[in-house]
Amino acid sequence: MTELQSQALKSDFKKLRVLLIILTLIEISYLIVAFTNVKLWIKIDFDYKINWVILGLNLIVSGIFIWYNWTKMPIEKKNKSNNTFLILFLGTIGMWLWIPNKRELKKLIEK
């Protein structure tokens, strides 16, 4: 892998990590409101349909992760399939498990 490709891979993973952090914060804040302030939760859930907005965001982010997995990741097809199932069935937790840490990213770049 060339230096330019490795820098692009690192940059892409930073962007994906930021996107996942934003999604996680939105979901955690929704759960906190749901468990601590029932009146507010009912208002935002039934009046503004925020649960559908969060579901839509989750599906969009999952789609981005799956697209990136299949088009940009320098891994075997079997691993791509496993990663897709991880993202689909575990949702946000699966996306956190999918993102490589520094050591795994270094191995991907060395391939």
| pLDDT score at 45 | 93
| pLDDT score at 77 | 95
Q: 3-state SS of 75-111?
A: CCHHHHHHHHHHHHHHHHHHHHHHCCCHHHHHHHHHC
Dist CA 48 CA 74 (whole Å): 41
| pLDDT score at 48 | 93
Output DSSP code: residue 39.
H
| pLDDT score at 68 | 97
CB 34 within 8 A of CB 54: no
What is the mean pLDDT for each group of 10 consecutive residues in the chain (111 residues)?
87 96 97 96 94 96 97 92 96 95 88 71
CB 92 within 8 A of CB 25: no
What pTM was computed for the model? 0.91
| pLDDT score at 110 | 83
Dist CA 97 CA 31 (whole Å): 21
